[in-house]
Amino acid sequence: MNFWRAIVLAALAATAPALLAGEIPPDARRSGYSFMGPDTRAMQDDDSSNPGMLFVLDGEALWTKKAGSAHKACADCHGDARSSMKGIAARYPAFDKALARPVTLDQRINLCRANHQQAAPLPYESRDVLALSAFVAHQSRGVAITAGDDPQLKPFVEQGRNLFMQREGQLNLACTNCHDDNFEKRLAGSPITQAQPTGYPLYRLEWQTLGSLERRLRSCMTGVRAQAYDYGAPELVALELYLMSRARGMPMETPAVRP
Amino acid sequence: MAALINVPAKAKRGDIIEIRTLTSHIMETGFRHTVDGALVPRDIITSFTCRYNGTEIFRADLFPAIAANPYLSFFTVARESGKFEFEWIGDNGYSSTASASITVE
């Protein structure tokens, strides 16, 4: 009898950490903004000191600039971005029917360039693609995130969730080990956040430039000594989609500033 | 290049006003190397000037230790209505200008 009780207790003790680990309740979710110091918050809050706004200005110029052999600008189809692009970034990555998979905002911009402007694709993380996506996402500032609501996206959200929970790299860490279980603690002096992707593309002071969520994910993967997926890889898009659906209902902040 | 200028649109004569400027620039230090060992040449803004109705009121020299997209803020006294002109000069013949108007009552 005592023997069996001991086994049950041992089994409970062994599974307890697994039970404690888990997703953040909706009302406990916090933007990376709330983990920053007052100086960095002030930098983000004031549009005349937020360096991300320089990219938004560049994006606004690119929006009306004709490109490709079709000699069309974004504005020729989409009109005034302030109305036509409001809330769009809040539901990306979105399902693309022709490709039968989700695409990110950057990929959507390049699909538009290929299909409608007959222009060469902009390389990932190039200034122009970041400027355009910052300009488009800026129109959704304050809009609640709804990415992942499309039922067709369900398997991809699930794939992203599995990747988020999967240990990888020489340090054998999953995203969840830091961002669900240990946020608010510190890693090498920096606060560990909840990984809520509310402000992408965002200006990181460490990068001294704007960067996409994919760049951020790749740096995390390098950080745990894993082989990072290539830009545009379906795994990165799935992770991005899961993170956005995990932040469902949180307001967009693009362009955010982060240390 | 894109620049963000913050000058109050209106001020009372004699008021001390804050001017804030932010401009796009990579501010490449000239101390970094590429993966194959070649030195990345220096490319920075070296000088910033602000003129108030033609008179220089503020000037700054910039150096390699200054971060990308330099932000400068300074104060002046609102004397008369008119125009502030800003100029950034840098390596490789870089030059960029911007302006902002003020009404002084």
Which tens digits make up the pLDDT trace of A232-253? 999 999 999 999 999 999 999 9
User: Using a CB-CB distance cutoff of 8 angstroms, which residues of chain B are in contact with residue A54?
Assistant: 2-4, 22-24, 69
Cis peptide before A93 (omega within 30 of 0): yes
What is the C-alpha to C-alpha distance for residues A165 and B94, in angstroms, rounded to an integer?
A: 48
Instruction: Give mean pLDDT, residues B49-61.
Output: 97
User: Using a CB-CB distance cutoff of 8 angstroms, which residues of chain A are in contact with residue B27?
Assistant: 208
Write down all domains in chain A, each with its CATH number in brackets: 52-138 (1.10.760.10)
* 12-51 of B, contacting A, C-beta below 8 A: 20, 22-24, 26-27
The pLDDT of residue A4 is above 80 = no
Residues whose CB is less than 8 angstroms from the CB of residue A106 and which lie 6 or more positions away in sequence, other chains included: A124, A129, A133, A212, A214
A2 CB-contact burial (10 Å; exposed 0-12 / middle 13-18 / buried 19+): exposed
Q: Which residues span the domain enclosing B89?
A: 3-104
> How crowded is the C-beta side of A45, counted as CA atoms within 13 Å?
9
For A94, the enclosing helix (H) or strand (E) is strand A94-96
Say if strands A190-191 and B10-11 run parallel, antiparallel, or are unpaired. unpaired
Q: Where does residue A71 fall: left (phi above 0), alpha (psi -120 to 50 degrees), or beta otherwise?
A: left
**Would you state the pLDDT for residue B2?**
84
pTM: 0.89
What is the C-alpha to C-alpha distance for residues A36 and A45, in angstroms, rounded to an integer?
A: 12
**Would you state the pLDDT for residue A22?**
72
**Structural domain total, chain B:** 1
Radius of gyration of chain B (CA): 16
**Would you state the pLDDT for residue A17?**
46
The pLDDT of residue A13 is above 60 = no
User: Using a CB-CB distance cutoff of 8 angstroms, which residues of chain B are in contact with residue A48?
Assistant: 4-6, 20, 22
CATH code for position B52: 2.60.40.10
| B18/chain A closest Cα distance in angstroms | 12
